[in-house]
Amino acid sequence: MAAACGMRRGLRLLQLRGLRTGHAARQQEEFPSPAERPQFPGASAAFVDTLDFIQPNVLAGIPVYRVMDRQGQILNPSQDPQLPAETVLKLYKTMTLLNTMDRILYESQRQGRISFYMTNYGEEGTHVGSAAALDPTDLVFGQYREAGVLMYRGYPLDLFMAQCYGHAGDPGKGRQMPVHYGSRDLHFVTISSPLATQIPQAVGAAYAMKRDNADRAVICYFGEGAASEGDAHAGFNFAATLDCPVLFFCRNNGYAISTPTSEQYRGDGIVARGPGYGILSIRVDGNDVFAVYNATREARRRAVAENQPFLIEAMTYRIGHHSTSDDSSAYRSVDEVDYWDKQDHPISRLRHYMLGRGWWDEAREKAWRKESRRQVLEAFEAAERRRKPSPQLLFSDVYCDTPPGLARQRDGLARHLRLYGEHYPLALFDK
């Protein structure tokens, strides 16, 4: 009996060995060499028989696309977008008007008239170049340094001032800190303070547009510092896997608050991350308004036609401080800032282009600078005369039906002001 059992076990072992030998033989026939492409579902690659780690610096660097040099000369005529004179003038006037508004509101904060401000010095080309390439109905998610996009779309100076001053004419009713703009009419989503929250939100909006066959795209702006946030990576991955018509527009201006790029990442900028997520990507000269325009226009066209995301990294430089809460002289030299301000500024580059075409001259420059300052100062002075929103607006627009707890707080404030209103500057507020 024991002998019979042993024989059966021996036969089973021989059979298993035969199966394994046959399976190995079939594998060898199917994959005769290491060069045979594997069939793993998670990646598409080839086998190799050498041990090599991927070096992050194998490539010399992803190139920077540009159309004109620093003197405004077109480098390749085939890349000239051939924009009409009135469009180029609008680009230039928007950039310079934004620059004038920045200077006046920055000084306003320094004088204690508003609580906070962020300038856009040096990055104006990324704003208007991309804005001009979009459809007016495309949805914009900004970070906080995209005022030029809103200005290009026609947002009036009065509302810029209203938001920064938080007076009764502010569409946000004074509830947001300055430079947190928003406009439903101009399809510009109200800015949020936390970095990168807008990135997954933009992807969700783009996915909804795709499902509605809306023939629209979403553009989402952020800085290279915000690209280190987890929301950025989640947004990239969702956009790629869900095939969303969204343009990720990264303004790489060299510094995230007081942190230089050398301390933010070790890879080749932000655009190098795009292929890793399966996103078509390009790096452009952000101080070249035509390069920004061309890249955004083509990415927008393909995003809508093909339902896929694009990543644009616009290389530029933040000439101003990060905000009025920052002193950039503590972490960078004056010479470095002066170089970018005087040698490679998007406004001067476009001015050279217009001068070369005969569309602009020194007399028109002087007249426009005077006129733009007048416009900003008029809006500024009007904003200072406006009252603050009514304190009762603290309790509105949050719930459709006011909950009991919030109603008690509202009534409590009203009683408090009736008793002690003399101690508050209520004359400065709307009733």
From residue 414, alpha-carbon distances to 61, 62, 407, 420 in Å are 62, 61, 11, 10
CA-based R_g, the chain, Å? 29
- Can you tell me the distance from the alpha carbon of 119 to that of 105, in angstroms, rounded to the nearest whole number? 9
Which residues are 311's β-sheet partners? 248, 281
Around Cβ 101, how many Cβ atoms within 10 Å?
26
- Can you tell me the distance from the alpha carbon of 59 to that of 191, in angstroms, rounded to the nearest whole number? 37
Beta carbons of 345 and 126 less than 8 angstroms apart: no
Beta carbons of 106 and 114 less than 8 angstroms apart: no
H or E stretch including 5? helix 2-30
Beta carbons of 311 and 271 less than 8 angstroms apart: yes
Going by C-beta distance under 8 Å and a sequence separation of 6 or more, which residues neighbour residue 264? Answer: 224, 225, 228, 256
- Can you tell me the distance from the alpha carbon of 150 to that of 372, in angstroms, rounded to the nearest whole number? 17
Strands 246-252 and 310-315, by their bridges, are: parallel
* Catalytic residue annotation: 107, 193, 322-323
243: left (phi over 0), alpha (psi -120 to 50) or beta: left
Length of the chain: 431
- Can you tell me the distance from the alpha carbon of 383 to that of 299, in angstroms, rounded to the nearest whole number? 39
